[in-house]
Amino acid sequence: MTQKTPLRNFLYSFKYDYHHTELCKLESKQIFDKEENDKVLFSDTKIDPTVSPFIKSRLEIISSSESYPKLLKSIENENIHKEGFKAEYLILEGDSREYSERREKLKDVGHCIEGEPDFDTPTITYAICNYKNVWYFGTFIKHNPGWHKHKKKPCSFSNSISMTIAKTLVSLASKGNKTKQLLDGCCGVGTVMLEACFSGFNIEGCDINWKACAHTRENLAHYNYSANVYCSDIKDLATQYDAAIIDLPYNLYSYSNDEITLNIIESAAKLSDRVVIVSNLDMESIIKKSGLKVSESCTVAKKGKSKFLRRIWICEKLVAQTKINRILEASTNH
């Protein structure tokens, strides 16, 4: 049997630690409308792997077959002419082939492509892989790990969310769509904004604490990122956003209580129909009071024996309330 190609154009591979399993599956559902399985996911949705901390690579499938010789024949029939190409072997779950065998298969693939290879600075990278006894070949893009440089940002504090969570909040809010306009409603030292800027998202931030805003601006400037940061209570903002990210205050560096929390969430709901909220406390009852509906949620534990948990809620504005608000806004404008 040949050409047993899935009805999907892309194969994504994932990498994550056990304590991020729930978070990764939540992210893949938001971006691809389904969870990854065996750290592999097929989809017709094209996403830059670097928008996610968990997506290791993207293979745009050119051909596939259960028969390895027939896959090679299929590659030959593509008549690929590329100078400076590179071929890699993508190891997926369940593939236990030894290095020597993988290397031989890469040679086979190289012989099917016309042009001189360039292993150091390739103009294009192809890859071959095997998943559940089906061979796949296609163009290959890896995750860019350059965002890890943010570990050395000049301003930080111990209770900041991790870069992995921050990066995931951006992908959850945007669903991986870089055209979306995002708001970081309690930006702190800018951990979320740094990850958004690195991946090419449009984001603005605000914080009621002037020191936090100063630290965010310093961190952004350190990496030559450009984004607006407003020293303001979120309730005083008027711009509408496609999604808002709210890392609620921890009552450490700024005072917070249920009334303040409700005000922040309600204010975010006025600015966006989609709000992603993170907290170390259970905020679901307060979220319901704000007029938002929780569509998905998860908990994220720290690696190791720590019992510290963060909870993440993906919230959507109730449709009826959204329509009422828009009618009121229209009548006010007239």
Whether the pLDDT of residue 83 is over 90: the answer is: yes
> What are the tens digits of pLDDT across the range 268-300?
999 999 999 999 889 999 999 999 999 999 999
Question: In this predicted structure, which of 165-169, 299-303, 311-315 has the lowest mean pLDDT?
Answer: 299-303
**Domain spans, the chain:** 10-142, 148-333
For residue 255, the model assigns a pLDDT of 56
Give the mean pLDDT of 306-327: 74
Does residue 164 carry a pLDDT above 80?
yes
Q: What is the mean pLDDT of the chain?
A: 91
Q: Give the pLDDT mean for 240-257.
A: 79
SS (H, E, C) the chain: CCCCCCCCCEEEEECCCHHHHHHHHHHHHHHHCCCCECCEEEECCCCCHHHCCCEEEEEEEEEEECCHHHHHHHHHHCCCECCCEEEEEECCCCCCCCHHHHHHHHHHHHHCCECCECCCCCCEEEEEEEECCEEEEEEEEECCHHHHHHHHCCCCCCCCCCHHHHHHHHHHHHCCCCCCEEEECCCCCCHHHHHHHHCCCEEEEEECCHHHHHHHHHHHHHCCCCCCEEECCHHHCCCCCCEEEEECCCCCCCCCCHHHHHHHHHHHHHHCCEEEEEECCCCHHHHHHCCEEEEEEEEEECCCCCCCEEEEEEEEECHHHHHHHHHHHHHHHC
pLDDT at 36 over 90: yes
Residue with the larger pLDDT of the pair 56 and 252:
56
Average pLDDT over residues 232-242: 97
Confidence category of residue 321, pLDDT binned at 50, 70, 90: low
Instruction: Report pLDDT digits (tens) over 99-108.
Output: 999 999 999 9
pLDDT category at 254 given cuts 50, 70, 90 is low
Lowest mean pLDDT among 151-160, 210-219, 240-249: 151-160
pLDDT band at 252 (very low <50, low <70, confident <90, very high): very low
Query: What's the mean pLDDT in 71-76?
Result: 97
What CATH number was assigned to the domain covering residues 10-142? 3.30.2130.30
pLDDT band per the 50, 70, 90 thresholds, residue 261: very high
Confidence of residue 26 (pLDDT cuts 50, 70, 90): very high
% of the chain with per-residue pLDDT over 70: 90
Query: What is the reported pTM?
Result: 0.90
In terms of CATH, what superfamily is 148-333? Vaccinia Virus protein VP39 (3.40.50.150)
Mean pLDDT calculated for residue range 39-46: 96
Tell me what pLDDT residue 303 has.
Answer: 76
